[in-house]
Amino acid sequence: MNSPVESAPHHIFADDSLSVAEQAEVLELGLEMKRNPIRKSLENRSVAILFDKTSTRTRFSFDVGVHQLGGHPIVVDSGKSQMGKKESYQDTGAVLSRFVDAVVWRTGAHQNLHDMAETATVPIVNALCDDFHPCQILADLLTIKEKKGDLRGVKAVYLGDGANNMANSYMLGFTTAGVDITIAAPEGFQPEQRFIDRAKLRADETGATLRVIGEPDVTGADVVITDTWVSMGMDADRDTTALRRFQVDEALMSNAAPDAVFMHCLPAYRGSEVTAGVIDGPRSVVFDEAENRLHAQKALLEWLFR
């Protein structure tokens, strides 16, 4: 909105919307953001922050983050706007582009983002959809960078629902960073081949390894990760019996590297995908991970306006 857009905006729809070099730049900026949080990079800019699904971390971190960058955040729940009901995403994209400088959007179908992008002349940032959660992955990588130093060669294992948005984003975003990622999930919960193929392109570029296995094996892992067994929008009565053996408990953690950390994007369900002993225990970094949403997303926004 501030300046005329002369080229297509850089949308962040998935973890490979940033190249290998671009992701590294954003993560470096995230560390700098944490050291010097109050900035002017979004001065006189407004950001629409839209939610079709519930949120705690994403809502607060984007709202506070835009404020700390000197910008104006406008947080709207979909139920309170015309979008998607009385008005198409295409019309919404055209209208919002006349008012704001970026759109941050949590929605359901990934296609919705592309529909809005048909008309939007400002960047659209995916704040979670059914297929990806790229902002969370930037925060996770920032956390691993802080805890482990160099990202390349770090071994991460994600266990549980390997077919959800987080698993797809771990495959794409971690391979981009050069982190070796294993998805451990039972049959029926493994990632779709199209997402594996897409992540393999990044793995080939960075030399990261990408594996999908059917056993809850975390031998030698530096990072152990899980997520809810029932994501937003899924049937609450979904049969998750097959996932029980993939629960992250103390016994499983004892097979990981001695200094392994436990990560979870939150919200977490103690007693399902993780035991209270692990998530509330000494190896858990989940609240550092949550805090890093703020720093990583501020870095992403500042980078987009450079």
Q: Which residues are catalytic?
A: 106, 133, 136, 227, 265, 293
CA 33/CA 31 separation, integer angstroms: 5
Which of ligand NVA, ligand CP, none is residue 157 near (CB under 5 to 8 Å by kind)?
A: none
Binding of residue 75 to ligand CP (CB under 6 A) = no
Residue 180 carries which side chain, given as an amino acid letter? D
Binding of residue 265 to ligand CP (CB under 6 A) = yes
Binding of residue 213 to ligand CP (CB under 6 A) = no
58 has binding-site annotation: yes
Helix, strand, or coil (residue 248): strand
In this structure, are residues 13 and 126 in contact, taking their beta carbons and an 8 Å threshold?
A: yes
The residue (of 16 and 131) whose beta carbon lies closer to ligand NVA is 131
169 has binding-site annotation: no
The residue (of 94 and 232) whose beta carbon lies closer to ligand NVA is 232
Binding of residue 126 to ligand NVA (CB under 6 A) = no
67 has binding-site annotation: no
CA 10/CA 26 separation, integer angstroms: 14
Q: 282 has which bridge partners? A: none
- Our CA dihedral for 77, 305, 265, 156, rounded to 10 degrees, sits at 150
CA angle 286, 271, 219 (to 5 degrees): 65
The encoded tokens of residue 247 equal 């629960």
The residue (of 17 and 58) whose beta carbon lies closer to ligand CP is 58
The residue (of 50 and 120) whose beta carbon lies closer to ligand NVA is 50
β-pairing, 46-51 vs 72-77, is parallel
Which of ligand CP, ligand NVA, none is residue 231 near (CB under 5 to 8 Å by kind)?
A: ligand NVA
Binding of residue 228 to ligand NVA (CB under 6 A) = yes
Nearest to 158 by CA among 244, 268, 264: 264
Q: Which helix (H) or strand (E) holds 50?
A: strand 46-51
Binding of residue 227 to ligand NVA (CB under 6 A) = yes
Nearest to 102 by CA among 55, 140, 135: 135
232 has binding-site annotation: yes
- State CA 161 to chain mean position distance: 15
Site for ligand CP in 106-145 (CB under 6 A): 128, 136
For residue 267, the minimal CB distance to ligand CP (Å) is 6
For ligand NVA, which stretch binds (CB under 6 A), given 59-67, 159-167, 254-262, 285-293? 159-167
Residues at the site binding ligand NVA, with contacts judged by CB under 6 A: 128, 164-166, 227-228, 231-232, 265
Residues at the site binding ligand CP, with contacts judged by CB under 6 A: 55-58, 128, 136, 265-266
